[in-house]
């Protein structure tokens, strides 16, 4: 997917944390923000499914870990 260059404003604490995270993961700052955005999209998709299905979509934290482990292969 093509990339777009943007300018954002974050707190200095957030920037410091994101830079550390990027270094720990061997990537760059852009990759760290991309990872964070991808995780937020995943969470929002899960929230939408839960809202759509109601109580039937509720899973325990242990079951969620099992599901996430399966997703990761």
* pLDDT tens-digit series, residues 3-53: 999 999 999 999 999 999 999 988 899 999 999 999 999 999 988 988 888
pTM: 0.65
Helices (H) and strands (E) in the chain, counts: 3, 0
> Which pLDDT score, from 0 to 100, does residue 46 have?
85
pLDDT band at 72 (very low <50, low <70, confident <90, very high): confident
Q: State how far the Cα of 34 lies from the Cα of 40, in Å rounded to an integer.
A: 10
> Which pLDDT score, from 0 to 100, does residue 59 have?
81
How far the first Cα of the chain sits from its last, in Å, is 23
């Amino acid at each position: 997917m093509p990339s777009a260059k943007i300018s954002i404003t974050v707190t200095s604490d957030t920037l410091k944390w994101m830079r550390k995270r990027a270094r720990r993961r061997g990537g760059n700052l852009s990759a760290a923000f991309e990872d964070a955005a991808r995780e937020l999209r995943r969470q929002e998709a899960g929230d939408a499914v839960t809202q759509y299905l109601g109580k039937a979509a509720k899973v325990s934290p242990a079951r969620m870990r099992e599901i996430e482990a399966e997703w990761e292969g």
